[in-house]
Structure 1
Amino acid sequence: MKTTSELLLAILASAAHAVPFSHVTPTAVDSRAEVRAAAAASPTVYMCGDSTMALGGGGTGTQGWGVYLPYSLKIPVVNDAKAGRSARSYTNENRFGEVIATIKSGDIVIIEFGHNDGGSLTPTDNGRSDCVGAGNETCTTAAGVIVQTYPTYLTNATELMVAKGAHVIISSPTPDNTCETGTCSYTSPRFTGYGEEVVKTVGSKSSFIDHGTYLANQYAVLGASVVNTYYPNDHTHTSPVAANLVAGVFVKGVLCAGSSNPLYSHIKNSTASVVGTCI
């Protein structure tokens, strides 16, 4: 049986030989256990999000983009995204708390939510919808539960992470299929602006990547005939090939941000095959 160190080396070696951002589906990487063992010795990336980021995506052959990010980085990646979660439910299930307890100074946390944060708290509360608002508003459900806003949940988590010496990247949510009607179009959801404001509120050691706009721009270049093949089941969850592309577009955003983004110096491969320009 291989030791933890041997398993980690094997995972990193396979990632180094992967063809990034191509239309060849790479092997999904689920290295969480092995990477956690090495995390104490090196800067580590932690990913917090929903099914669009998570291992297994939305199920039935889909995949989350966080599975392919390790192919692009020189440092370990722990994908703690969980399908079906919102900023609210990720908070209430103590998933942010677990990441905060684990991280150390110099680590990087990527937070991307939005797909499950909309909806209404009435007449039935699904446990995921946030209170609508750009500030610190609160709402009360029929059961008497106090619900906070998307910015509040993200600000609280980010400030605690920064206090431990980590750098947090707030990423706008990936869009649903922008070409579903046959014509590609995109309007940023309110969560994009909310994320930008969280970074302004937290300030130092936080950054913003407009992942949604970068991906929408890429989709517009590829066109509807290609993009519609990326969504085998619904308009939210991507195929493995598309998830690999979504990861590449995120890396494109990091490269465009330059040295001001903490991931910039840790990128190990090229994004030359990702069509598009910096925004």
Structure 2
Amino acid sequence: MKFSVLALLPALIASAAGRPAENLEKRATPKVYLAGDSTMAKGGGGSGTGTEGWGVYLPYSMNIQVVNDAIGGRSARSFTNEGRFQTIIDAVQPGDFVVIEFGHNDGGSLSTTDNGRTDCFGDGTQTCTSPTTGETVYTFVFYEVQAGKAIQAKGGNVIFSSQTPDNPWEGGSFTYTPSRFVGYAQTAAKAIGAAYVDHGQYVANEFQALGLSTVTSFYPNDHTHTSPDGANVVAAAFVKGVLCANDALAPFVKNSTSSVPGSCI
């Protein structure tokens, strides 16, 4: 089951709207749902073995249940088109949290071919036509805003989390240049008044502090998918961002801000 991508198009970047479900009674014990790609998913999704997604380690820092619905190879577009956002929306109850983090599979070009994952370039209401299927393709921001508004309408809390970096030590020296999807995630958050965690920057800061040797060991097969140890660090970086922002999820974190490595940004 898919939800309509057309209904919200005219008001995509409207000022943050009030949440129609604000007055609903909240679930006594909320859940955290995770929507993302292989870097968040169980098993890590990378080629070969020895990888794990950071979402697997988030439950160790939470006092509430974490439901990891991330799946490898997905983008904001394909997660929408496959009905995976809708599955989460259907499950959400008032007071629940949904962490949305995409970007690794959203790039590419729609000029000649279409892998079903690439979004239309832009940060608003731009549209493209798939050269392969004729599908109208929307922007990363549109897909995220659409899902976020539907979650808010159910009384859920949305946290847009920025794309985590590929190995910033891959070239032998530290380099982190955020992709455009980092900024797009923040744009989506502002559009609907949702929480935002710059997960990419928090991870980059911690990886810089850990150094070349340690971080290189976190990438057993390629420069994107982390080992279990790496995933644990990435999960802690997300927790740090939540605590530093002191958003609505923070009271459900077991750790204190000072006990999680790194500094607030």
The structure 2 residue matched to 1:52, chosen from 30, 39, 57, is: 39
The structure 1 residue matched to 2:248, chosen from 257, 262, 273, is: 262
2:196 aligns to what? 208
| Cα RMSD for the two superposed structures | 1.2
Report the 3-state secondary structure (helix = DSSP H, G, I; strand = E; otherwise coil) of the residue aligned with 1:139: strand
**1:266 is aligned with what amino acid?**
F
Q: Would you identify which runs of 4 or more consecutive aligned residues in structure 1 move more than 4 Å?
A: 270-274
The structure 2 residue matched to 1:158, chosen from 141, 145, 148, is: 148
**2:42 is aligned with what amino acid?**
L
Q: What TM-score results when the alignment is normalised by the length of structure 2?
A: 0.87
Q: What TM-score results when the alignment is normalised by the length of structure 1?
A: 0.82
2:83 aligns to what? 94
The structure 1 residue matched to 2:113, chosen from 124, 139, 143, is: 124
The structure 2 residue matched to 1:85, chosen from 29, 50, 74, is: 74
* Deviation by residue 1:75-133 (Cα, 9 ceiling, x = unmatched): 00000000000000000000000000010000000000000000011321100000000
User: Which of the two has greater helix per residue?
Assistant: 1
Cα distance in structure 2, aligned partners of 1:107 and 1:253: 19
2:163 aligns to what? 173
* Aligned residues with identical type, % of pairs: 58
The count of residues paired between Structure 1 and Structure 2 equals 236
* Deviation by residue 1:209-255 (Cα, 9 ceiling, x = unmatched): 00000000111111111111100000000000110110001001111
**1:93 is aligned with what amino acid?**
E
Residue 189 of structure 1, CA deviation: 1.0
1:42 lines up with 2:32 in the alignment: no
Contact 1:221-1:275 at 8 Å conserved across structures: no
Report the 3-state secondary structure (helix = DSSP H, G, I; strand = E; otherwise coil) of the residue aligned with 2:170: coil
Cα distance in structure 2, aligned partners of 1:48 and 1:81: 5
List gaps (5 residues or longer) in structure 1.
1-39
Cα distance in structure 2, aligned partners of 1:65 and 1:270: 19
The structure 2 residue matched to 1:140, chosen from 129, 135, 150, is: 129
Residue 275 of structure 1, CA deviation: 3.4
* Deviation by residue 1:23-52 (Cα, 9 ceiling, x = unmatched): xxxxxxxxxxxxxxxxx7620000000000
Which range is displaced more, 269-278 or 144-153?
Answer: 269-278
Report the 3-state secondary structure (helix = DSSP H, G, I; strand = E; otherwise coil) of the residue aligned with 1:126: coil
